């Protein structure tokens, strides 16, 4: 007799199998699987009567019993291999048992992962960690307790990009994605919460709305025109009346200063910040000038971060005054 190990994936919905997989299942004299295998319900819905086997160690014995009852036959018994981290170990045990019993065993891949399927697996892993019987540390976390990790992973991702280290970037993007999935999982536990699907659907819809030149057949124009279109759509969505709205004020002062200054300029709010004379704004000289200012401030006992943040507050007040005098101003990309 023959035994066919059918491999599926935790990343693909049960029942979404290839045509060869369904052909093998329907032709088999018996289909063996674990009592809680995710294919159990889809197979029953398809009119099959799978046989539950308690463990991989019982698979070959059950297959031999089926073979004896069916008499000589060439159609293999199908065993639905476990889905998930126990897959490899279980298949190795069944393969060893089959070899010892003289049973020919083959393997068939029954499902192909779609792009993004790895995210589905990550969501399932996080669900298990957060659920009863999972990890006590993960279960104890809150949105607030995770904030430090979100910030740390963001900066580590920036560092990987700046270093040009693809291996590090791959890892850090995964850690950053984990934070998104973690926060979304916590949110599902509230009666008024949301899920990772809500997060993904929201940003997908936003990107479609804000790219009419890609999804709605609008004229693309040049970069400046695209920027103007983006700003117009965003203003309509958000109903914001100030370029200051939507700017995360808790970010580092230097990034905050650049963000506010850039938004004000793009929105046509003419507030000129004080500009030191004779400063070369090329990246190298500018970086050295900023470093020198920070070191000099520290030596003088002045916190450069606090000093710049105070100046930014004054600049923001001037922007508000200019907006009040000129009427509502627009919003500015790249903030979403």
pLDDT at 238: 65
Burial class of 283 by CB neighbour count within 10 A (0 to 12, 13 to 18, 19+): exposed
Start-end of H helices in 164-303? 166-187, 196-209, 212-215, 223-238, 253-266, 283-299
Which is more confidently placed, 264 or 41? 41
Mean pLDDT taken over the chain? 84
d(CA 20, CA 110): 7
Band of residue 329 on the pLDDT scale cut at 50, 70, 90: very low
**Whether residue 145 has pLDDT greater than 70:** yes
Band of residue 273 on the pLDDT scale cut at 50, 70, 90: low
pLDDT at 235: 64
pLDDT at 276: 65
Partners of 31 in the β-ladder = 78
Residue owning tokens 């009592």: 35
Residue owning tokens 């999804």: 215
Contacts of 39 (CB under 8 A, 6+ apart): 8, 14, 15, 33, 50, 80
pLDDT tens digits for range 169-214: 999 999 999 999 999 999 999 999 999 999 999 999 988 888 888 8
Partners of 7 in the β-ladder = 109
Burial class of 196 by CB neighbour count within 10 A (0 to 12, 13 to 18, 19+): buried
Band of residue 330 on the pLDDT scale cut at 50, 70, 90: very low
pLDDT at 168: 94
Specify whether the CB–CB gap between 262 and 332 falls below 8 A.
yes
pLDDT at 256: 79
Neighbours of 105 (CB within 10 A): 22
pLDDT tens digits for range 217-230: 777 777 777 776 77
pLDDT tens digits for range 36-92: 888 999 999 999 999 989 888 999 999 888 877 765 567 899 999 887 766 788 889
Which is more confidently placed, 109 or 231? 109
Specify whether the CB–CB gap between 169 and 132 falls below 8 A.
no
Q: Is the peptide bond before 298 cis (omega within 30 degrees of 0)?
A: no
Specify whether the CB–CB gap between 182 and 140 falls below 8 A.
no
Triad 198, 201, 204: Cα angle to 5°: 150
Q: What is the DSSP letter of 59?
A: H
* Mean pLDDT value of segment 274-302: 80
Question: Which domains are present in the chain?
Answer: 2-109 (3.40.1010), 117-209 (1.10.287.1080), 243-326 (no CATH)
Partners of 107 in the β-ladder = 5
| Crossing angle for the helix pair 117-130 and 166-187, to the nearest 10 degrees | 50
pLDDT at 332: 46
Band of residue 164 on the pLDDT scale cut at 50, 70, 90: very high
Widest CA span of the chain, in angstroms? 95
**Whether residue 328 has pLDDT greater than 70:** no
Tell me which residue of 110, 66, 117, 61 sits closest to 87, measured CA to CA: 110
Specify whether the CB–CB gap between 104 and 2 falls below 8 A.
yes
d(CA 289, CA 277): 12
pLDDT tens digits for range 78-116: 999 887 766 788 889 999 999 999 999 999 999 887 788
Does this model's pTM top 0.75? My answer is: no
């Amino acid at each position: 007799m023959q035994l066919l190990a059918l491999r599926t994936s935790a990343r693909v919905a049960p029942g979404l199998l290839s045509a060869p997989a369904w052909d093998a299942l329907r032709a088999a004299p018996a289909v063996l699987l674990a009592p809680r295998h995710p294919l159990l319900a889809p197979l029953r819905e398809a009119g099959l009567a799978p046989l539950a086997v308690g463990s991989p160690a019982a698979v070959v014995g059950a297959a031999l019993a089926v073979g004896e009852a069916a008499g000589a036959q060439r159609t293999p018994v199908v065993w639905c291999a476990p889905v998930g981290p126990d897959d490899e170990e279980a298949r190795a045990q069944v393969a060893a048992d089959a070899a010892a019993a003289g049973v020919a065993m083959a393997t068939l891949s029954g499902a192909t992962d779609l792009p993004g399927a790895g995210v589905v697996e990550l969501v399932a892993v996080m669900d298990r960690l957060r659920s009863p019987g999972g990890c006590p540390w993960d279960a104890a976390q809150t949105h607030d307790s995770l904030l430090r990790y979100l910030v740390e992973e963001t900066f580590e991702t920036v560092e990987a990009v700046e270093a040009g280290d693809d291996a590090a970037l791959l890892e850090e993007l995964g850690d950053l994605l984990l934070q998104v999935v973690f926060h979304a999982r916590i949110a599902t536990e509230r009666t008024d919460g949301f899920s990772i699907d809500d997060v993904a659907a929201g940003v997908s819809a936003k990107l479609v709305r804000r790219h009419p030149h890609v999804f709605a057949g609008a004229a693309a124009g040049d970069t400046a025109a695209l920027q103007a279109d983006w700003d117009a759509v965003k203003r309509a969505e958000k109903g914001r009346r100030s370029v200051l709205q939507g700017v995360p004020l808790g970010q580092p002062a230097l990034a905050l200063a650049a963000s506010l200054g850039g938004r004000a300029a793009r929105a046509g709010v003419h507030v000129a910040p004080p500009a030191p004379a004779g400063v070369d704004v090329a990246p190298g000289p500018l970086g050295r000038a900023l470093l020198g200012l920070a070191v000099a401030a520290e030596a003088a006992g002045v916190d450069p971060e606090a000093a710049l943040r105070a100046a930014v507050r004054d600049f923001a007040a001037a922007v508000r005054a200019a907006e009040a005098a000129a009427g509502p101003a627009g919003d500015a990309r790249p903030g979403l």
